[in-house]
Amino acid sequence: MARGLKEEVLRFFPRSLQALLTPLPVWDEVEEIRLKVGRPLLLRLVRGETFVTACGSLTERAAEAYQVSAAEVSRIINLACGASLYAFEEEVRNGYITLEGGHRLGLAGRAVVEGGSIRTLRHISGLNFRVAREVRGSAAALLPFVLRDSPPRVCHTLIVSPPRCGKTTVLRDLIRQLADGVPELGFPGVTVGLVDERSEVAACYQGVPQFDVGVRTDVLDACPKAAGIRMLVRAFGPEVVAADEIGRAEDARAIEDALNAGVKVVATAHAGSIEELRRRPFFRHLFALGVVERFVFLRRGVKPGEVAAVLDGAGRNLTPGLCGPRRAAAGVASLRTLAP
């Protein structure tokens, strides 16, 4: 991690924690910093987990780790929201605060529920600081599959993986390259409408994307996907709409509306296997429509977004040199027959 980014992250931490975290040799690998009152200070890295000791070193043993105090948790919250938690009330009720630089502070505490909905969180005692990284070029290997024909056109694409495999990272870079164009493939670029419901793709801060999502991309930040897709299609007429982690019934209806308007769809889905997708009515319906032209399966590797397989809409494996093609291909082919 570049020194500037490390400083960007640590400015949200009190000096006591800065002293422990600054000299650590694993900053290039840090994905999450997890803090709980009275519990060990934990780092989640690309290659696993480690604890931080009171001496500012790393240990595998929780008993040797530094214990986070309530004052430190409170101070991080104050630094993250400028001492005005009320100003972030909408984000807090969703369990996180989006920070400048695209980082995200997850919150855990007592939920205050009114009318069946969460109004706010009280007594916050657990934090998860997710370090945001922009990995330019992470979608480069997908472009020859997502773009097809001559002149190149964008395929309806679904990116699938379990948590922490780089779905959002790959989606972000794919959007950027589709919007900017890919001269080496003869692709001039298209207009893209991004619905960023959880502010994770563009990581908008006060409405301005903190990550590069391309010169032709319009972003609806913190907007429900179904409403956002319809708004973008009506107001901006994008050639491509993009969204992270689709899966609700209302998403399906909005995607159908976009398809009927001639708009291409690029999205991600949270699943660990074909079998998981098959159990969800949304995907049974989507696949039965036969509109998805590319299925991209990711796995966790040394770098975010390592591709396990790319399949076409009929379930044919387009990357036979990668692992698991037969099972994946058979599963996707069967999905298309499951809609009522």
Quick one: 156 and 97 in the same domain?
no
Q: Which domain-ending residue is among 130, 153, 181? A: 130
pLDDT of residue 125: 96
Q: What is the residue range of 51's domain?
A: 3-130
Quick one: 320 and 180 in the same domain?
yes
Whole-structure pTM value: 0.84
Q: What is the pLDDT of residues 120-160, one digit of tens each?
A: 888 999 999 999 888 999 999 999 999 999 899 999 999 99
User: What is the 3 state secondary structure string of the chain?
Assistant: CCHHHHHHHHCCCCHHHHHHHCCCCCHHHEEEEEEECCCECEEEECCEEEEEECCCCEECCHHHECECCHHHHHHHHHHHHCCCHHHHHHHHHCCEEECCCCCEEEEEEEEEEECCEEEEEEEEEEEEEECCCCCCCCCHHHHHHHEECCCCEECCEEEEECCCCCHHHHHHHHHHHHHHCEHHHCECCCCEEEEECCCCCCCCECCECCCCCCCCEEEEECCCHHHHHHHHHHHHCCCEEEECCCCCHHHHHHHHHHHHCCCEEEEEEECCCHHHHHCCHHHHHHHHCCCCCEEEEEECCCCCCEEEEEEECCCCECCCCCCCHHHHHHHHHHHCCCCC
Question: Mean pLDDT over residues 253-273, rounded?
Answer: 92
Query: What is the number of structural domains in the chain?
Result: 2
Quick one: 217 and 289 in the same domain?
yes
pLDDT of residue 322: 63
pLDDT of residue 84: 72
Q: Which domain-ending residue is among 100, 130, 160? A: 130
Give CA–CA dist 138/168, Å, rounded: 11
Q: Please tell me the least confidently modeled range out of 191-195, 224-228, 271-275.
A: 271-275
**pLDDT at residue 33 greater than cutoff 90:** yes
Is there a domain that residue 297 lies in? yes
Q: In this structure, what token pair is assigned to residue 41?
A: 């200070």
Q: Which domain-ending residue is among 130, 155, 186? A: 130
Q: What percent of the chain has pLDDT over 70?
A: 92
Average pLDDT, the chain: 89
**Position 98 confidence tier, pLDDT thresholds 50, 70, 90:** confident
pLDDT of residue 97: 86
Quick one: 87 and 147 in the same domain?
no
pLDDT of residue 283: 87
Which position has the token pair 């494996």? 317
